[in-house]
């Protein structure tokens, strides 16, 4: 025990995952403590287990000094992880009536152009970071806009709250409005400066962010590859194989590539630190290439439904050995809630040969996301030494949910009901590094 900084002892029902429970859920993949304890020191998990067992293992001095948080009757899980989201697009969520390419041209690009105004970028980043906490999301992989100041704005908002996040400046040098266009050289200069300013600072990490193949020239995709080589541990985020119109366009833009995945492969952008949003229309061959490269996919079910992009077969991707996280993809996604996103993932999976089971859905929103983003050495579950980011959820947040929960027979049913019927109204508290950051509908500053 650190005598100057006593620990925190949290009592709640606790669920966390050690690995993917798989299609036939393997109970050794998770731990659930109905009367559980999480003991935290210096923002890190020291012990997680049953209440009696954790207390018995704690030295008396530590027990006497600890701050005690009583969330009995609530469910405590690791902070949610949103593997792919665009903070500047929160203001166009739910824009009516178009598929991907028209939606980008008519709704998205104008919204991103507006962030040329640095004040608006700061206000948008503040709003977004606050809403993350309100939804129990403590980590996200975030697209800014092409403007370097939009990355500064987001990292500043995240740093103030000690969020563990990835973010990057969108790189686009063709097929977009002039006002959103950079060049390979400008992208190099601006990204290098941002990497020097932010990457590895506290809990912030830089993600090289070419928007997608159609809006970057081959020269700019090469710059993305060179950037990844320019500093250790950089991440990469982009989009892949989302919409049929997009696929046809990529074929005409890159006639020498075997398929969409091959575009990124040829530019050295398939690697373990990479995560691609969507992957709805991938062939078996493309899935095998992704699995072999170690690159991950971000499954964006509400976005795919909203833009009519198609039904991603998440079980197939996992069976192929591809790491997978869950993502809101706001503003094409229609909610920042990872509970709503889990529900959408289940509903989309019902249109595929194998539905996602409740355990796998909770895994994907927590430890699965950490693994997909290659952040699992720090976050994702409550094994000893992990950063203590967590969310406390109310099983009874609405009358409909309470009534349903009262009539569930077992934990799997309750967990499924909570994700299907829940949303941010279920979030009692969000804790960052053990500290309360959002409680009872209010941000704690
Ligand atoms: N593909 C390229 N850009 C975007 C974007 O902003 N959102 C989505 N859903 N797909 C994209
Ligand atoms: Zn996206």
pLDDT digits (tens, 9 = 90+) for 223-244: 999 999 998 899 999 999 999 9
Name the closest ligand to CA 109: 1
pLDDT of residue 60: 86
Q: Which CATH number fits domain 80-372: 3.20.20.140, 3.40.228.10, 3.30.2090.10, 3.10.28.10?
A: 3.20.20.140
For residue 175 and ligand 1, the question of a CB distance below 6 A is answered with no
Average pLDDT over residues 86-99: 96
CA of 161 to the centre of ligand 1 (A): 27
Question: In this predicted structure, what is the pLDDT of residue 61?
Answer: 80
Q: Is the pLDDT of residue 440 over 90?
A: no
Convert the pLDDT of each residue in 35-58 to its tens digit.
Answer: 999 999 999 999 999 999 999 999
Residue 1 has pLDDT above 60, yes or no: no
The pLDDT of residue 75: 98
Is the minimum distance from the CB of 239 to ligand 1 under 6 angstroms?
A: yes
**Nearest ligand to the C-alpha atom of residue 215:** 1
Q: Which of 3-12, 24-33, 411-420 has the lowest mean pLDDT?
A: 3-12
Task: Quote the pLDDT of residue 445.
Answer: 77
Find the distance separating the first CA and the last CA of the chain, reported in whole Å. Answer: 27
pLDDT, mean of residues 19-31: 98
The residue whose C-alpha atom lies closest to atom 8 belonging to ligand 1 is: 332
Least confident segment among 56-70, 257-271, 428-442: 56-70
Instruction: Specify the residue with its C-alpha closest to ligand 1, atom 5.
Output: 104
CA-atom Rg of the chain in angstroms: 21
Supply the mean pLDDT for the chain. Answer: 97
Q: Where are the domains of the chain?
A: 8-78+380-443, 80-372
The answer to whether the CB of 309 is under 6 A from ligand 1 is no
Average pLDDT over residues 10-24: 98
- Whether the CB-CB separation of 28 and 40 falls below 8 Å is answered with no
CATH class of the domain comprising 8-78+380-443: mainly beta
- pLDDT band of residue 68 (cuts 50, 70, 90) is very high
Does position 292 have pLDDT exceeding 80, yes or no? yes
Ligand 1 in reach of 329 Cβ (< 6 A): yes
Query: Residue 85: CB within 6 Å of ligand 1?
Result: no
Question: So what's the pLDDT on residue 2?
Answer: 61
Q: Which residues, at least 6 apart from 291, have a Cβ–Cβ distance to it below 8 Å?
A: 320, 321, 322
Closest ligand to Cα 93: 1
pLDDT at 6 over 90: no
3 has pLDDT over 70: no
Mean local confidence (pLDDT), 20-26: 97
**What's the full length of the chain, in residues?**
445
Question: What is the pLDDT at residue 4?
Answer: 63
Determine the average pLDDT of the residues in 71-83: 99
Above 70 in pLDDT, residue 439?
Answer: yes
Ligand 1, closest atom to CA 215?
Answer: 2
| Whole-angstrom distance, CA of residue 271 vs CA of residue 324 | 14
Using one digit for the tens of pLDDT, what is the confidence trace for 140-189?
Answer: 999 999 999 999 999 999 999 999 999 999 999 999 999 999 999 999 99
Q: How far is the CA of 405 from the centre of ligand 2 (A)?
A: 34
pLDDT in tens, 382-428: 999 999 999 999 999 999 999 999 999 999 999 999 999 999 999 99
Measured distance CA(423)–CA(426) in Å, rounded: 6
Rounded to the nearest angstrom, the distance between the alpha carbon of 277 and the centre of ligand 1 is 8
**Residue 242 Cβ contacting ligand 1 at under 6 Å:** yes
Choose which residue among 85, 212, 328, 333 to substitute to test ligand 1 binding: the one with the highest number of ligand atoms within 8 A of its C-beta.
Answer: 212
What's the predicted TM-score (pTM) here? 0.98
């Amino acid at each position: 025990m650190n005598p100057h900084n006593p620990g925190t002892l949290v009592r709640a029902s606790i669920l966390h995952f050690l690995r993917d429970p798989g299609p036939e859920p393997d109970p050794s993949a998770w731990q659930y403590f109905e009367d559980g304890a999480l003991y935290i020191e210096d923002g890190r998990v020291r012990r997680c287990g049953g209440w009696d067992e954790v207390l018995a293992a704690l030295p008396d001095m530590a027990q006497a000094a600890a701050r005690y948080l009583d969330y009995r009757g609530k469910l405590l899980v690791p902070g949610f992880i949103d593997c792919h989201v665009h903070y500047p697009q929160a203001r166009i969520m739910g824009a009516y009536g178009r598929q991907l390419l028209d939606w980008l041209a008519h709704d998205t690009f104008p919204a991103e152009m507006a962030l040329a105004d640095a004040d608006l970028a700061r206000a948008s980043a503040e709003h977004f970071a606050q809403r993350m906490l309100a939804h129990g999301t403590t980590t996200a992989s975030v697209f800014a806009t092409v403007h370097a100041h939009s990355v500064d704005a987001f990292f500043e908002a995240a740093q103030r709250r000690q969020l563990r996040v990835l973010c990057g400046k969108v790189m686009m040098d063709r097929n977009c409005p002039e006002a959103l266009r950079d060049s390979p050289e400008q992208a190099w200069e601006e990204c290098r400066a941002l990497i020097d300013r932010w990457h590895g600072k506290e809990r912030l990490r830089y993600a090289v962010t070419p928007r997608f193949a159609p809006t970057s020239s081959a020269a700019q995709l090469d710059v993305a590859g060179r950037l990844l080589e320019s500093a250790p541990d950089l991440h990469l985020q982009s989009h892949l194989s989302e919409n049929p119109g997009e696929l046809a366009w990529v074929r005409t833009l890159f006639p020498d590539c075997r398929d969409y995945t091959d575009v990124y492969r040829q530019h050295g952008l398939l690697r373990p630190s990479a995560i691609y949003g969507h992957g709805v229309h991938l062939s078996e061959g493309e899935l095998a290439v992704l699995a072999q490269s170690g690159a991950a996919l971000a499954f964006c079910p509400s976005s795919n439904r909203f833009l009519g992009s198609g039904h991603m077969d998440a079980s197939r991707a996992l069976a192929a050995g591809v790491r997978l996280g869950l993502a809101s993809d706001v503003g094409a996604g229609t909610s920042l809630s990872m509970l709503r996103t889990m529900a959408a993932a289940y509903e989309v999976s019902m249109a595929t040969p194998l539905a996602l089971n409740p355990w796998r859905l909770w895994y994907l929103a927590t430890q699965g996301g950490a693994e997909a983003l290659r952040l699992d050495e720090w976050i994702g579950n409550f094994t000893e030494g992990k950063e203590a980011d967590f969310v406390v959820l109310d099983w009874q947040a609405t009358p409909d949910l309470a009534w349903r929960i009262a009539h569930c027979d077992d934990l799997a049913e309750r967990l499924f009901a909570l994700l299907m019927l829940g949303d941010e109204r279920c979030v009692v508290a969000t804790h960052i590094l053990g500290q309360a950051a959002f409680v009872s509908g209010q941000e704690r500053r």
